[in-house]
Amino acid sequence: MSIGIDPSPKFAAYAHPERLVSGEWLQEHLGEAGLVVVESDEDVLLYETGHIPGAVKIDWHTDLNDPVTRDYIDGAAFARLVGEKGIARDTTVVIYGDKSNWWAAYALWVFSLFGHEDVRLLDGGRDKWIAEGRPITTEVPAPEPVDYPAVERDDSTLRAFRDDVRSAIGRIPLIDVRSPEEYVGDRTTAPAYPEEGTLRAGHIPTAQNVPWAKAAAEDQTFKPLEELQAIYRDGAGLAESDEVIAYCRIGERSSHTWFVLTHLLGYPKVRNYDGSWTEWGSAVAVPIVKGAEPGEAPGA
Amino acid sequence: MPTIDDTAAEGLPPALAEIRDDFLALPVKERLQLLLEFSRELPALPERYAEHPDLLERVEECQAPVYVFVELDEAEVVQVFATAPEQAPTTRGFASIVVQGLSGLTREQVLAVPDDYPLTIGLTEAVSPLRIRGMMGLLGRVKRQVRAAAGASAGA
């Protein structure tokens, strides 16, 4: 019972046009059975200041992360979370958020770990919706809870762990989506972001630096296909790659890049290393390169 | 330098104690609503700062750009000013708590506020420990500025 796709010509050029919707499309379909709109922001209170009518909120930190283990919630907790929001296994989920959908893409990636099939992003996210003068409300919906099956999270396809990354060095292209300052090793967190106690600075050997926001246009939408191809295929040399691993600091910015590579450019096997720099930069005896050059694989 | 009285550190200034008690009296989900109310109450900057954003210090520990500035009068009574964008209500809420909780206290009272105050107001679970760290940073900046301002006036 999933809902038809947005036929916008811009999306049609992408590898998976069904993964994006425009504000116009969403406004037309609001309230339709089988559609749930989810807001996911960096700021945990932004939803409360006003959101798309009928949209529910999922917070990346308090909802999607396990409160004890550094991991995502398990299948039972995910089923409980989304079931309470009125999301069934076959629901079309459209996620949007602040900062060019940075956190919305992260939520979408987590939905994908659980194999939720029809999950899309609102191109341009929250800011574009508001800029276009579309409706906003502070009324919090009370959805009828539905049964969502407890599906085991698949960590093997879309997610990379430290050892996967280690064995990928020199074999699979790595994309470091952090700021140039973090990449060269001048700092361990994004400029103006809190220090999270990572012990070493730099990047994983061989990783190309393509800051995530390069894929976002001024109005926070995704850039058109040709521009994305110029950035990733030509610029970062991903032309012939089947596999790619993206990382950042905790896996949020790289979810945005994961979305671009997987759904817009159509790379068949892209994994997000969510341990990212907060793990790698504190791990013992893993190789690190400083400076602007990607560097060589150890022993190469 | 007068030393900080240990008993003063235990007895929280009334405004901060009230803010903490108000949060703790609510179920976790409703605490976010109260934080939202605080964010709406953050006073606009007085004109002398609105026209001189360079006077304000950026708090690096917060995710959103937030700026704070303190003033001490002759009686060493502290006024705290802060600004944060509308799109960052959590940060605005933190700033508002700091402004409302610390303004009007004496220098000594501000310096005696426990550094872990943000961890005690029941928001850690509601907003996540990562975010609460931004408020710790905010409090730390204010205390540092108060310390520095006192040093400057002593040397004048």
pLDDT of residue A191: 63
Task: Spell out which residues of chain A touch residue B128, defining contact as CB-CB under 8 Å.
Answer: 44, 59, 61-62, 65
Give the C-alpha separation, A266 to A23, whole Å: 23
pLDDT of residue A198: 85
Q: Do B36 and A48 touch (CB under 8 A)?
A: yes
Asked if A131 has any chain B CB less than 8 Å from its own CB, the reply is: no
At B82 the three-state DSSP class reads: strand
Whether B2 has a pLDDT exceeding 60, the answer reads no
pTM of this prediction exceeds 0.80: yes
pLDDT of residue B5: 43
Q: Do A62 and B64 touch (CB under 8 A)?
A: no
pLDDT of residue B111: 95
pLDDT band at A160 (very low <50, low <70, confident <90, very high): very high
Pick from B33, B131, B134: CB nearest A48: B33
Summarize pLDDT for B11-22 with one digit per residue, the tens: 899 999 999 999
pLDDT of residue A111: 98
pLDDT of residue A167: 97
Task: Spell out which residues of chain A touch residue B39, defining contact as CB-CB under 8 Å.
Answer: 45
pLDDT of residue B61: 55
pLDDT of residue B155: 43
Complex ipTM tops 0.85: no
CB A74 within 8 A of CB A66: yes
Looking at the DSSP bridge assignments, the partners of residue B77 are B106
Q: Reading across the β-sheet that carries B57-58, which strands appear in turn?
A: B57-58, B67-72, B78-83
Phi, psi of B112 (to 5 degrees): -85, -5
Could you say which of A58, A107, A175, A248 is catalytic? A248
Q: Of chain B residues 57-96, which have a CB less than 8 A from chain A?
A: 58, 60-65, 86-91, 93
Whether A129 has a pLDDT exceeding 50, the answer reads yes
Amino acid at B17: A
Give the C-alpha separation, A232 to A249, whole Å: 20
Whether A61 has a pLDDT exceeding 50, the answer reads yes
Whether A192 has a pLDDT exceeding 60, the answer reads no
Average pLDDT over residues A248-252: 91
Which stretches of chain A are DSSP H helices?
9-12, 23-29, 75-84, 102-113, 125-131, 162-168, 180-184, 225-228, 253-259, 276-280
Summarize pLDDT for B51-96 with one digit per residue, the tens: 766 666 666 555 567 888 899 999 999 999 998 888 899 999 999 9
Give the C-alpha separation, A52 to A140, whole Å: 10
Task: Spell out which residues of chain A touch residue B58, defining contact as CB-CB under 8 Å.
Answer: 192
Average pLDDT over residues A77-100: 97
Catalytic site residue A295? no
Whether B24 has a pLDDT exceeding 70, the answer reads yes
DSSP class per residue in A14-65? SS-GGGEE-HHHHHHHTT-TTEEEEE--SSTTTGGG-BSTT-EE--IIIIIB
Whether A262 has a pLDDT exceeding 90, the answer reads yes
Residue of A nearest to B135 (CA): A194
Element (H, E) at B96: helix B89-102
Whether A231 has a pLDDT exceeding 80, the answer reads yes
Asked if A197 has any chain B CB less than 8 Å from its own CB, the reply is: no
Which of A40, A42, A45 would best serve as a mutation to test chain B binding (most B beta carbons within 10 A)?
A45
Q: Do A45 and B62 touch (CB under 8 A)?
A: no
In this prediction, what percent of chain B has a pLDDT beyond 70? 81
pLDDT of residue B156: 40
Nearest CA to CA, how far is B125 from chain A (Å)? 7
pLDDT of residue B46: 84
Give the C-alpha separation, A32 to A291, whole Å: 51
Asked if A44 has any chain B CB less than 8 Å from its own CB, the reply is: yes
Task: Spell out which residues of chain A touch residue B130, defining contact as CB-CB under 8 Å.
Answer: 61, 194, 196
pLDDT of residue A240: 76
pLDDT of residue B4: 44
In this prediction, what percent of chain B has a pLDDT beyond 90? 54
Minimum mean pLDDT range among A130-144, B25-39, B50-64, B108-122: B50-64
Q: Do A61 and B36 touch (CB under 8 A)?
A: no
Which of A39, A40, A42, A44 would best serve as a mutation to test chain B binding (most B beta carbons within 10 A)?
A44
Residue of B nearest to A64 (CA): B128
CB B12 within 8 A of CB B117: yes
Contacts of B17 (CB under 8 A, 6+ apart): none
Whether A206 has a pLDDT exceeding 50, the answer reads yes
